[in-house]
């Protein structure tokens, strides 16, 4: 009887330790998921924010072009360009539903942005062509804004649904 009691106490201790370990593991996994969900929303938000800053700078440059404005616009376009691959290459991108479907569209915009950035490396070209090109670029980038808005809304919806689970 003494042996049976000892086995039962030992079994209880083992089950208690196992329960604590399972709880800690589950809590850690939940914490990691929450962090990844937060980060996935953050990378989409950052891309959207850079888009807004770049288009604002583009419109400002169209109104008052100058060497300083060209440099500022080039920087803004480079920052926007750098945010796009992060949307589909990061670990958090796996959490965004349907993002794989946007990858090709995002890559097309990356190429367009590369062309704009390359053109800004030669500001003398704009002395010949004028500032109409900036209005054209603004129109070219409009669909990117809508695309980023769709991705952002998708991210927010997914994150809300996941947080409620």
Are 141 and 55 in contact by the 8 Å Cβ rule? The answer is yes
Residue 148 has pLDDT above 70, yes or no: yes
Q: Is 90 helix (H, G, I), strand (E, B) or coil?
A: coil
In a domain, 6, yes or no: no
How far is 30 from 35, CA to CA, in rounded Å? 9
Average the pLDDT over 17-44 and give the result: 73
In a domain, 7, yes or no: no
Residue 38 has pLDDT above 70, yes or no: no
Provide the CATH number for the domain around residue 71.
1.20.120
Residue 96 neighbours by CB under 8 Å, 6+ apart: 40, 44, 87, 151, 154, 155, 158
Are 72 and 53 in contact by the 8 Å Cβ rule? The answer is no
Q: Give 85 or 7, the one with higher predicted confidence.
A: 85
Question: pLDDT by residue (tens digit) across 117-136?
Answer: 999 988 777 776 677 899 99
Number of domains in the chain: 1
**What local confidence, expressed as pLDDT, does residue 128 receive?**
64
| Centroid of chain to Cα 131 | 31
Read off the pTM. Answer: 0.75
Domain of 89 in residue numbering reads as: 33-163
In a domain, 28, yes or no: no
**Residue 80 buriedness (CB in 10 A; 0-12 / 13-18 / 19+):** buried
């Amino acid at each position: 009887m003494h042996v049976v009691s000892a086995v039962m106490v030992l079994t209880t201790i083992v089950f208690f330790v196992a329960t604590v370990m399972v709880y800690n593991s589950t809590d850690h996994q939940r914490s990691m998921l929450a962090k990844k969900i937060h980060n996935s929303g953050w990378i989409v938000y950052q891309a959207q924010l850079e888009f807004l800053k770049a288009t604002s700078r583009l419109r400002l440059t169209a109104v008052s072009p100058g060497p300083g404005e060209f440099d500022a616009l080039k920087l803004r376009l480079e920052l926007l360009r750098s945010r796009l691959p992060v949307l589909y290459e990061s670990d958090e991108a796996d959490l965004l539903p349907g993002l794989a479907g946007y990858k090709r569209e995002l890559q097309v915009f990356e190429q367009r942005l590369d062309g704009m950035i390359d053109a800004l490396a030669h500001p003398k070209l704009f002395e010949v062509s004028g500032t109409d090109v900036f209005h054209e670029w603004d129109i070219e980038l409009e669909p990117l804004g809508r695309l980023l808005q769709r991705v952002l809304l998708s991210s927010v919806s997914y994150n809300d649904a996941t947080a409620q689970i």
